[in-house]
Structure 1
């Protein structure tokens, strides 16, 4: 059995999960903290700048509104130069707005090393709200007089370098804290990993050694971890049960070996007896098959003998009438010859002789013709029953010949037989099996189906299903077949007339003829009291011309 590919271990999985959770937690918390701190720094700086701008506007606003002399302007520049104490202030400019709306600078301050800021009059309005860039924040405040008219503006630009340094320091501190905490988490994780995985590894090694050595008496050692301890207990219980099972199996194998040793002689004796019984059974079965084939053949010959006896009886009547008429003709001919020789022959006697002769000859002709038809039909049926070669024949004519051969038996009863078949239906197949099948089905209906019935009906329907397959339906309105007999109807020696002359081979013979001689199928549908229906389907060769071949062809 191939070992599965190991992708992850508990050790690495535990380490990765713990470090991933710790890293994600620290990054999220540090990010939120840094974001709030930076936001707080920016808001503080913004508020300080706004307050400073409002304060300067209030301080210098009155001076600008009341008007400044040259000396006061110099003092104002001196005051502004003191703003150098603020390291974050880059530029400060105070503007006065004249009647025309133009801005005139009154005083300004620029941090040493920086360029003075000169915002345009058209753009100073955008600094009423603090504008913060990467390295500076700019703000402007309007100075209004008592009438609410703008008298001037104060523009201030502060540096954000100190803010950026504080932000960088905060980020560096946060990153350093994250690294230290992750290092501590790694150390703790390795310690916890070792604490958890070592008992599992020992338990795995124990199971591996136990499976290799098959020492099921070994037991796993307990651990301080509850889950692994429960697992060890379960493994020990399993090992104890396996040990018990192995011991029982060894005892059973030992008993089995002893039993095999005692059974070998018995088996050899029984084998010899079984061989002898099988040989006798095979011989009996062969004799049974021979007896069955002989009985089936006897059944065929008995059926043919009954038909011969019937036909002989039927032929005897027309031949007897013909013999009687011919004898009468000989007597009349002797009288005429005697009178002719004695020259006493009269015309009336001659006329009566001719009339009687014509009547007798007609009787002789009709009866001889009738006998010839019976003999011809019997000859054809007999030839069909003894021949297994395919021949071309008209199916309806074949059925009529069969019914004619059965007339001696059928005229003793008042049952109707209807044939539904195209008179022009010509096929090529074995006629003998069809003869035997229909004879057995008809006689089966007469003997069994119409028992205790004065008038029964038999329908024979023949039609082509396909150009090479024929369907033959045989049904009667007799008393039907019970369910237990219907299931075994085609088995040999199945009969309801046991001890009354029934052999039980008629339907078995029909089944063999359909399936073996005609290579077809036969199915039965019957309910007790509702008659029986046989469906026979077998392959044929339909004649192309639809006509019978001429004799000699």
Structure 2
């Protein structure tokens, strides 16, 4: 009920009218209050003037009867009571109420002034007069004005709600109800898309809305067919991916191949996710469009926006479906050597010397020096082949990214035993890694050399080997222009693999 157009229109108009009439009433209130205060002041001054004139002779002549009659004649609102004192401060006469009858002291005022015999040159003091005045009548008048204006506002609000409700029902809500019923019938219809066309005999804005919906229905028929084809391609690509993953997982001789499969799945899930998102956006936009149409909030801009979203969604679905199919096709050609070597004890410094020497053909024609300064006494019980692949991938990554275009530089390996673990540092003084890339360098298929030979798998494989096979941790620090450091912390005795335990 609160979300209906009629309720919101009525609430808005009632609020506006109430505010306007309230402001008008407030202005009238303050205007009347000013007038009444001015009238009260004039009455007060007039009473004082009359008493100063009419009481002098009776008081001079000690005519108490006339004095009492004059006082009684003046006791009428706003005057509540009057008392006259002689020059000796004796009460001579009084009339009316001399003390306030209400606790609201702000409504009462005591007026006191002297009585002088003006017949003498300098005026003779005959006595003094105290007058008790009340503004209660003025306040009653103001209260009556407030209640009257409040009732006027309430009555006008009721009339306005009734008139607006009737007008909206006849001119807006009734046509919208008919359009909503027609859309609900169309939504439940399961025939061909062409049958979604709605009849329209109106030539106003509602007729334009129905015409726009009919054009959307025609475009939607083509979009739905494209989406069905794209979804079919996605399902085939995903089924192919699942078969490929099953084949790769069975290859137990590759130590870190499980991480690679997960990386490939993540890479292919990206276009799949984008495709599904595009389909979801198209569906959500369609539901939102129908909801706005049912609520009577549909505008021409909404129709145009829906057509644009539908076209972009179909284009996005087709492009990413093709990308997913291409990735599945090219995945068969991706191979990373992660040979599972038998476990044995070895000296870290000597083994790294052998690895660096075996990689010399990779960098011997480049102005790059590789040095190994590991402590000679560190003995490891683990998998030297896995460690060799880690060092190989880190060195290849440095040659590719840290020293582009034949730049000169140095790469250093160092290690130090810390308790039952070894900390291996791999450092270069190359160009460093941009801050926005650091959180992603271990993600599968992340590379800044896409299209020029970078697969995006090298550091991902390094991460999987260090954290899984070698049971360690790896961190990276880099400052652009000052180089990069990889810190590997591994146990001196590598954890036993599941296949070895069984």
TM-score, normalising length: structure 2: 0.41
TM-score, normalising length: structure 1: 0.38
- Larger Rg belongs to: 1
